[in-house]
Amino acid sequence: MDKETIADVKNAGFPDHPHRGFETVTYMLEGQFKHEDFTGHKGTIGPGDLQWMTAGRGIVHSEMPVKSKEMEEGTGRGAYGLQLWINLPKEHKMCEPQYQELLDAQIPRATPQEGVVIKVIAGESHGITSQVYTRTPTLYLDFKLARNKTVVQPIPASYSGFIYVLKGMIHVGDENIGQQVVGKAHQTMILSMDGATTVRIQTKDNADEMSAEDEEEEAHFVLIAGEPIKEPVVQIGPFVMNSKEEVYETYQDYRDGVNGFERTRT
């Protein structure tokens, strides 16, 4: 699952809460979030930064927006970003927690042509490979396309995924065979690969379809895909396991402070 989060000054953020059995991938677009967990690991995630947290057998953490001067004055829109939850296969669900954290400048970019910039958060694009290790094979790409550009992104045929449009307008598919779909800001486009190994994405003028604001904007979107685990999955609240029984056991472990949650007591 993914969520887009806008945090205001007075009432926002995610105080202490637990996780087990999956990974959270936090990618900031604007503003800052401060993170801290029960091991003492803490830091601040700023615009363009990435935190890839493997909760594994147990994490209790908080994620709170940092108040900027603009937020205090009511002129800024706060902390704005994406968080993706990635399921872990059964063999990794009880692994030790781990973090992979990259500043914006540390995330490699592919520039296959002028007016096309691809941040390679996970996986590979146009010869550029991410340094992020993925226990569940994952492709996570941030695209910025100027108008009248076309990019073709390879995707393994076994993957499933989606495109989430942050701003602007994109055309996905091949218009020459009548299989092109339009995506606009804040829309999610589910990819139907059907054995295909590439996805074609295009930006056009489309002045008659765009607002005055959109006409000035480049298209900005993320493409996220991954290898299906093909195991039973049960998500209840902050825990993602293979059965209801395992989720109930996790709640008991959390209440008792055992099996990965020992540090919740202090």
Name the binding residues: 17, 19, 61, 63
In this structure, how many other beta carbons lie within 10 angstroms of the beta carbon of residue 175? 11
DSSP state for residue 264 in the 8-state scheme:
G
Give the C-alpha separation, 139 to 146, whole Å.
22
Interacting residues of 113 by C-beta distance below 8 A, sequence separation 6+ = 149, 151
Query: Binding site for Fe cation: residue ranges?
Result: 17, 19, 61, 63
Amino acid residing at 3:
K
DSSP state for residue 227 in the 8-state scheme:
-
Interacting residues of 43 by C-beta distance below 8 A, sequence separation 6+ = 34, 35, 51, 101
Start-to-end Cα distance in the chain: 31
Interacting residues of 209 by C-beta distance below 8 A, sequence separation 6+ = 169, 182
